[in-house]
Structure 1
Amino acid sequence: MADPEAGSGPQPIPSRSEGRRFSILSEFVPESLQPPSFLETSPIVREILSRDIAECSSDDDSNTQVSDGEEEPTVADAKLAFHPNGIAYGSGYSTIAIQGLDRPVPNPREVEDSLQAEISLLRDNDILPPRHPRSQRSGILWRLYRRFFSTNVKDNEDPEPIFDFTDQAATESTPLLFSSTVEEEETLPTPPPEEVIERFEEAVAAHAIKTTWQRETKTLIQYAAPLIVTFLLHYSVTIGSVLTVGRLGMTELAAVNLATMTASITCYVPVQGLSTCLDTLCAQAYGSGHKHLVGLQAQRMTWLLWILMVPIAVLWWFSEPILASLVPDQETASLAALFLRVLILGMPGVAALESGKRFVQSQGLFQATTYALVIGAPLSFFLNYLFVFKFDWHFAGAATAMAITQNLLPLLLVLYVRFVDGRQCWNGLTRKAFSNWGPMIKLALPGMIMIEAQFSVLEILTIAAGQFGTAQLAAQSVLVTVTSTSFNIPFPLAIATSTRVANLIGAHLSDAARVTAKVAVVAGLVVGCFNLTIFAVLNETIPRIFTQDDEVVAIVKQVILVCAAMQIFDALAAVSHGILRGVGRQAIGGYANLFSYYCVALPVSLSTAFALGWKLSGLWFGLTMGLAVVSGLEMLYLYNADWESAVAQAEARMKSEDVTAEAKFTPA
């Protein structure tokens, strides 16, 4: 096999102390907690990339290698690498993560984020000078600001009294806040990266790094805010169709819920599950300097997904008899089948978008997906209005608008790569994308199975709702849309939490990680209470946004109060699983999720809905109980967890991980 260094530019060799720096979202699950069916993915990743490097290092591909003068991603200086894995919506975050999938190599943007995070912590602990000279203000408002908003550790450990009655008596000319001087506005120079790294290493060794709840709150907001926007924009494509169809009638609203849930469980969720392996493959290819392999991996996955969609398309085309056997109303089944047949046109875009998102994200271009959604999401609302009401395509118009949007989003990503950034990892279409599929499928299948296991519960509850009649199924459509929208706030918060906790655990800062965990739990409670308040106060306004049918509105108005109570547990479950993921115990959270869904939520839902006659209220009551159980189990585990052992296991794991500890790949 060809030497991977040949013709590919200088390869960055991580330092020995760099092991903990790659502990972002890594799995440190004891072997006793790992099911025997789990696959060691690191050898698979090595096999895939080794084969690709060997095949793509021939003379005809010499132009695809990184040139000597091209800037390489410098990873040796990263200690707190920022890996917002999960930004691809629906990537199975709350299921059992597959071992090794969350250990990508940092890209240049993540290295810079890492450095800035270290600088912030060093400044908070007075190890580096502040960005601006310390103000000498002493007014009441300034003291209030320092008490509640200052991220400096000293300010929080020994805050000045807000009301100091020993001060000299104030006069008419005494200002509450002293004005800034010219000196205070000067920006102090930041030390060079080498000095920052050295000081951070020394401070960690001396246990001199602490954090504050203000710092962690600020960090979580910075991490979560862009993800919230991205997730809401992504889900708005579905919301647009539901809002439009709700104006057509109760039957149409019920049908769109049945169709979209069936599409999710048979296509969208498996596609997202399979494509999660690109989080590792693309990032490893980019980090090792073989940038042309990033495009190759994305091409290979896209072709695989397109081939798998052929039998799915056949299933959708002939889905009417199957749906008719699941729901009693034949018109609802017929309309749902029509919706699915039209959605077949959007299948290529769904697959291309999942691969495209990983392609740009592996290069640190996380904003690319958001930019595409900023254009695509509003356009989907316009297309729904145009096709359904102006062109009088009615129900099929909503499906057409969704299919067009699904194909438009990857095209927008292509335009971003072509004209803005990311083109350096694309070397055009190649026949090599049709080779080396075996290891990739072996790597991708476990992720799809775990995600499918969780989402299947939602399909079961949707089918159960259909047994109560069209009105109940239409109300279920509104409730699923509303609760899914509200979940797009705590879910990004959970991703931000797992990232930050893993950063700090990887840097041996267990005390700081505990502070982040506490802040995240409080933030989850705040988000849950916010959602609960919205649901409870607007219990009649919300359903009327979707439909004017009084029967459906009455059902939603009643059941949404159950969903309101569920918001607390939904947010806590998301955040607690984010913390578990950060400390490397996501397997525990995954098992707790599966247990709560299949052993608590599903039995309680079906029992209360059918045996007690609670109907839709019973279905959501069972789901609420399941979330209460999983959040309670995860919180109990975290309360009794040994955070120091997580740090020790992180260090041991990273020292033994040869995929991220070496830039060279040995022959398979």
Structure 2
Amino acid sequence: MSLNKKESHSREEATGMYGATARSESSSANGFPDAEIAPPTSTTTQREFREISKTAAPLVVTFLLQMSLSFVSVIFVGRLNALALGGVALANVAFTATMAIFQGLATCLDTLCPQAYGSKQYQLVGLYFQRCVAISVLFAVPIALVWWFAAPILQLLVEDARLVAIAAGYLRVMVASIPGFVIFECGKKYLQAQKNFTTGQYILFVCAPINVLLNYLFVLRLGMGYIGAPLAVSLTFTLMGMTLSGYIWYCARQESSVNCWNPLSNWRPIFSQWKTMISLAIPGIIMIEAEFLAFESLTFLAARFGTNALAAQSVVASVQSLTFQVPFGTGVAASNRIAHYVGDKQISNCRIATRATLLHIGGILAMANFLILVLGRNIVPSFFSKDEEVTHLAAQILPIIGVNQFADVFNVLAAGVLRAQGRQRIGGALNVLAYYAVGIPLALTLGFGTEMGLKGFWLGLGCGIVVLAISEVYCVHKSDWTKIIHDSHLLHQASAANH
């Protein structure tokens, strides 16, 4: 196929689900000059499907291994006694809820770093990374204080003083994990923007087993009790942060054609233009926290239905969290891919990559999650509990989770596209409305107002997920790619001028 035919085929693929062709959208009638849009390059839906899927695989592994760090500590503490297990489980909820702030802050790098890399403004990639670390350090101060003085806060939620004492002690030790966590979270984004999706995975291949070993030694062999668990996790995060920062420093010193590092001697720009990053980061925090708190609130409320219901809720919540990691990792891969095209001003490729993500990859992942949860409803719960009543109740709920996960795949992937576009604000607003105006009220009504119990919780929350998925996909469908690229160009132009 000749080059002209390839370009023609590419432009034809860009037409369809997302409206007019790149040429018609880039017309001056929209108020943005034609010169800002680069000539279309040749890509196809098949190529985007292949590339996004290939880069998603190591990201999914990375997220699963990182999630295992806290999970392992719960397993080892569970071998001590029920009281220690309850306290550590409570501390892990608080840990995850507050660490999500750092994860939300880092989502601004999903937009800025790959866009800068795609526009070949390479040192801006390093500058954005350094700014995000600096902002995260600023946020770390109040978070560390909350953890250090967590006991009075936890007393408002939990009546048992013994559980509060254990959870508060756990969180105090976890303060030491913050620097390593911040460096690793931001560093992953910095490398992913440069199409390096495997380094984080390789670091966790080493550090995750070390975490298991440290938990075994501290909690069981050395007799440190539950306090050994946060010590092991903190040391693991510190090792992860040090290893990744060492790798980044090593790469920055290599002679290469593409160097994305901003020399630390040029430190003044690191502490300027924070407003842009924070305006992208705050909606990212809202997106993550809104979903996390919605799901965790159901776990707390499930205790009102009895011990077995709470156990079943814990099982299905764990299954939901595991199946969520696959579309989430894919969403991050797609976000990087599309943001590169935004930076390179390739409207046609933005459209094709978006369509490959939502229609092709999304369709496969949604169906796979649905079938695994529905067909495996009588098998999957047995991996988490041997209690027949608990597994039976969980098996009744998993088909509902399957439907929810079917919709949530499109929600997660559309959120990835919105991050690539720099439109996190839309995602943040939709998350709050979908979960707290639709999902949670319906969940409480069906759960407590009818005899459905846990089923009502998940049905109500599922309605919110469906509303969120439809809303986000619609916003992506109506994207004005010319304006998105224009705004991206102005944003990076301002940073380059300051740099």
Normalising TM by the smaller chain, what interval?
A: 0.7 to 0.9
What is aligned with 1:70? Answer: none
Give the counterpart of 1:396 among 224, 227, 230.
227
Letter in 2 for 1:444: I
Distance 1:127 1:347, change over 3 A: closer
Match of 1:573 in 2: 411
In the aligned structure 1, how far is the partner of 2:357 from the partner of 2:284? 29
2:365 maps to 527
Structure 2 match to 1:444 = 278
Within the candidate set 591, 605, 621, 2:459 is matched to 621
Q: Hey, what's the Cα distance between the residues in 1 that align with 2:249 and 2:121? A: 21
- Alpha-carbon offset, residue 344 of structure 1: 2.3
Shift of 1:440: 2.4
Q: Is residue 416 from structure 1 mapped to residue 247 from structure 2 by the alignment? A: yes
Alignment correspondent of 1:509: 348
Contact between 2:273 and 2:495, CA under 8 Å: does it hold in 1? Answer: no
* Alignment partner of 1:230 is 2:62: yes
| Distance (whole Å) between structure 2 residues aligned to residue 202 and residue 451 of structure 1 | 36
* Distance of aligned partners of 1:647 and 1:450 in 2 relative to their CA distance in 1, 3 Å threshold: closer
Check 1:443–1:637 CA distance in 2 against 1; reply closer, same or farther (3 A cut). closer
2:172 is aligned to 341
Contact 1:250 1:549 in 2 (8 A): no
- Residues 470 and 411 of structure 1, relative CA distance in 2, 3 Å threshold: farther
2:205 to 360, 374, 379: 374
Q: 3-state DSSP class of the match of 1:326?
A: coil
Name the aligned partner's letter for residue 507 of structure 1. Q
Structure 1 match to 2:100:
269
Q: Report the alpha carbon displacement of residue 566 of structure 1 after superposing the two structures with TM.
A: 1.7
Q: Deviations over 1:56-80 (max 9, x none)?
A: xxxxxxxxxxxxxxxxxxxxxxxxx
Distance across 1 between alignment mates of 2:139 and 2:251? 31
Tell me how far apart the structure 1 counterparts of residues 387 and 70 of structure 2 sit (CA, whole Å): 20
Shift of 1:489: 0.9
Tell me the CA shift for residue 289 of structure 1.
7.3
CA distance in 1, matches of 2:391, 2:82: 10
Q: How far apart, CA to CA, are the structure 1 residues paired with 2:414 and 2:109?
A: 26
In 2 relative to 1, CA 202–540 (structure 1 residues): closer, same or farther, beyond 3 Å? closer
Contact 2:114/2:125 (8 A) holds in 1: yes
Aligned equivalents of 1:647 and 1:347: distance in 2?
A: 37
Q: Counterparts of 1:284-433 in structure 2 under 5 Å?
A: 291=123, 302=133, 305-306=136-137, 308-327=139-158, 331-361=162-192, 365-419=196-250
Deviates more, 1:438-447 or 1:214-223: 438-447
Q: Would you say 1:214 and 2:52 are equivalent positions?
A: no
Q: 1:613: how far off? A: 5.3
Q: Does 1:606 align with 2:437?
A: no
Instruction: Give the aligned CA root-mean-square deviation in angstroms.
Output: 4.5
Instruction: Report the Cα distance in structure 2 between the residues aligned to 1:500 and 1:348, rounded to whole angstroms.
Output: 28
- Closer, same or farther: CA 321–360 of 1 in aligned 2, 3 Å: same
Deviation at 1:262, TM superposition (A): 1.4
Change (3 A) 1:555 1:316: farther
Pair 1:484-2:315 in alignment = no
Q: Is the 8 A contact 2:219 2:227 kept in 1?
A: yes
CA contact (8 A) 2:59 2:197 kept: no
Tell me the CA shift for residue 617 of structure 1.
Answer: 3.5
Aligned length: 465
Q: How far apart, CA to CA, are the structure 2 residues paired with 1:483 and 1:124? A: 47
Q: Which amino acid aligns with 2:497?
A: F
Aligned CA distance change for structure 1 residues 237 and 122 (closer, same or farther; 3 Å): farther
2:497 aligns to what SS in structure 1?
coil
Following superposition, the deviation at residue 381 of structure 1 comes to 2.7
CA contact (8 A) 2:385 2:391 kept: yes
> Which whole-Å CA distance do the structure 2 matches of 1:236 and 1:664 have between them?
39
- Following the alignment from structure 2 to structure 1, what is the Cα–Cα distance between the partners of residues 116 and 403? 45
Residue 348 of structure 2 aligns with an amino acid whose one-letter code is L
8 Å Cα contact 2:183/2:245 also seen in 1: no
Deviation at 1:609, TM superposition (A): 2.7
| Structure ID, larger Rg | 1
1:599 CA displacement: 0.8
Deviation at 1:409, TM superposition (A): 0.7
Aligned to 1:77: none
Contact persistence 2:125–2:190 (CA under 8 A): yes
Q: Is the 2:91–2:168 contact (alpha carbons within 8 Å) kept by the matching residues of 1?
A: yes
Provide structure 2 residue ranges, at least 5 long, that are not aligned to the other structure: 13-36
Determine the C-alpha separation between the residues in 2 that align with 1:657 and 1:348.
32
TM-score normalised according to structure 1 size = 0.58
Conservation of the 8 A alpha-carbon contact between 2:110 and 2:420: no
Displacement of 1:371: 2.4
The amino acid across from 2:208 in the alignment is A
Determine the C-alpha separation between the residues in 2 that align with 1:459 and 1:429.
Answer: 41
- Contact 1:471 1:552 (C-alpha < 8 Å) held by counterparts: yes
TM-score relative to the length of structure 2: 0.74
Q: Is the 8 A contact 1:536 1:564 kept in 2?
A: yes
SS at match of 2:405: helix
Deviation, 1:574, is 1.9
Give the letter aligned to residue 241 of structure 1.
S
Matched, 1:632 2:470: yes
For residues 222 and 284 of structure 1, what CA distance do their matches in structure 2 show?
Answer: 20
Identity of aligned residues (%): 33
Cα gap change, 1:504 to 1:338, in 2 (>3 Å)? closer
For residues 6 and 446 of structure 2, what CA distance do their matches in structure 1 show? 58
Instruction: For 2:392 and 2:207, locate their aligned partners in 1 and report how far apart those are by CA, in whole Å.
Output: 33
**Cα shift at 1:210:** 7.3
- For structure 1, which runs of at least 5 residues remain unmatched after alignment? 1-120, 129-150, 155-199
**Cα distance, 1:326 vs structure 2:** 1.7
User: Is the CA contact (8 Å cut-off) linking 2:59 and 2:198 kept in structure 1?
Assistant: no
Q: State the Cα distance separating 1:627 from its structure 2 match.
A: 0.9
Higher mean C-alpha displacement, 561-570 vs 250-259:
250-259
